[in-house]
Amino acid sequence: MAHKFEIYRDKAGEYRVRFKYNSEVMFSTEGYTSKASAQNAIDSIKKNGPEAPVEDNS
């Protein structure tokens, strides 16, 4: 699969989510204290992301 979400623990022990496309990190989230909160972030991105507007500030 060319793209995926990953949940991982950072050096501070918090859970974070990163989105990878072709092994390149496209974005990562803030730290969460629970794995369930990290999963909720993924679910929110999947639900709300397709409808999000594009803001061009160039």
Q: For residue 58, is it within any domain?
A: no
30 within domain boundaries: yes
Q: What pLDDT, on a 0 to 100 scale, did the predictor assign at position 3?
A: 94
Is residue 55 a part of any domain in this protein?
A: no
- The total number of structural domains in the chain stands at 1
Position 22 scores a pLDDT of 92
20: domain CATH number is 3.30.160.160
3-state SS class at 42: helix
Cβ–Cβ contacts within 10 Å for residue 21, how many? Answer: 12
CA distance 58 to 42: 28
- Whether the CB-CB separation of 17 and 23 falls below 8 Å is answered with no
- What is the residue range of 30's domain? 3-48
pLDDT in tens, the chain (58 residues): 689 999 999 999 999 999 999 999 999 999 999 999 999 999 999 999 988 999 999 9
Give the global pTM.
0.84
